[in-house]
């Protein structure tokens, strides 16, 4: 007879698969499941930087009680995090990573970085952000990528 933990794991996996399939959500790069805390950690860290952030935003549109934050590591990595839950009470922790250079990050005088001339990020400071701010960063990142493709003489097929 299966233990409660394996039944709980099976339920969480079924819930996760159902959410992904029914909503057409992008596949994450990593998923960590905890039966103890009834939580799922989802990470996006491959592909184009704006696409990783957009994938995180797509996920949070299907969840409730969303909290979004972002911060910058000293190595100039931007990390966007979301916490949320589904209707069944399963907790989700989502993360997307990107290099600040993917958003035309410019060093500020105070050690901060300005992304796409708009967002100021201080190292190791976590800030609450809105869905709209992250969506705007996705748009700005796509504009930066398009400008770089044109400058390098390559175009999308």
Whether 133 is in a domain gets the answer yes
Q: Are 64 and 89 in contact (CB under 8 A)?
A: no
25 vs 122, higher pLDDT: 25
Of 2-11, 33-42, 106-115, give the lowest mean pLDDT range: 2-11
Give the chain's end-to-end CA distance (angstroms, integer). Answer: 54
- Identify the band that residue 2 occupies on the pLDDT scale cut at 50, 70 and 90: very low
What tokens does 55 get? Answer: 């994938």
Q: What is the largest CA-CA distance in the chain?
A: 63
Spatial distance between the Cα atoms of 80 and 133, rounded to a whole number of angstroms: 11
Percent of the chain whose predicted confidence (pLDDT) is above 90: 66
Q: Which domain holds residue 24?
A: 4-152
Average of pLDDT values for 37-64? 96
How many domains does the chain contain in total? 1
58 within domain boundaries: yes
Query: What is the Cα gyration radius of the chain?
Result: 18
Inside any domain, residue 59:
yes
87, HSE (Cβ side, Cα atoms, 13 Å): 5
Question: 3-7, 122-126, 145-149: which range is least confident on average?
Answer: 3-7
Residues 6+ apart with CB under 8 A from 9: 33, 35
Judge whether 45 lies within some domain.
Answer: yes
pLDDT computed for residue 48 by the predictor: 94
Q: What is the pLDDT of residues 95-144, one digit of tens each?
A: 999 999 899 888 877 888 888 778 888 888 999 999 999 999 999 999 99
Instruction: Look at residue 149 in the predicted model and tell me its pLDDT.
Output: 86
Q: DSSP readout, 78-99?
A: EEEEEEEE-TT--EEEEEEEEE
Q: Tell me how far the alpha carbon of residue 71 is from its chain's centroid.
A: 12
8 A C-beta contact, residue 79 and residue 73: yes
Question: Is 157 inside any structural domain?
Answer: no
Sign, CA torsion 90/12/34/96: negative
In the structure, what pLDDT confidence band is assigned to residue 76 with cuts at 50, 70 and 90?
Answer: confident
Judge whether 30 lies within some domain. yes
| pLDDT at 1 > cutoff 50 | no
pLDDT recorded at residue 88: 86
In a domain, 136, yes or no: yes
């Amino acid at each position: 007879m299966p233990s409660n933990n394996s039944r709980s794991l099976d339920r969480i996996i079924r819930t996760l698969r159902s959410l992904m399939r029914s909503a057409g959500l992008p596949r994450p790069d990593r998923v960590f499941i905890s039966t103890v805390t009834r939580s799922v950690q989802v990470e996006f860290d491959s592909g184009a930087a704006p696409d990783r952030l957009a994938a995180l935003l797509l996920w949070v549109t299907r969840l409730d009680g969303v909290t979004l934050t972002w911060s910058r590591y000293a190595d100039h990595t931007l990390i966007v995090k979301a916490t949320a839950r589904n209707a069944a009470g399963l907790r989700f922790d989502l993360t997307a990573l990107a290099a600040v250079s993917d958003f035309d990050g410019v060093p500020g005088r105070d050690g901060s970085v300005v992304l796409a001339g708009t967002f100021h990020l201080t190292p190791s400071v976590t800030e609450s952000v809105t869905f709209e701010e992250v969506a705007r960063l996705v748009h700005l990142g796509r504009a930066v990528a398009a400008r770089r493709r044109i400058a390098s003489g390559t175009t999308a097929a």
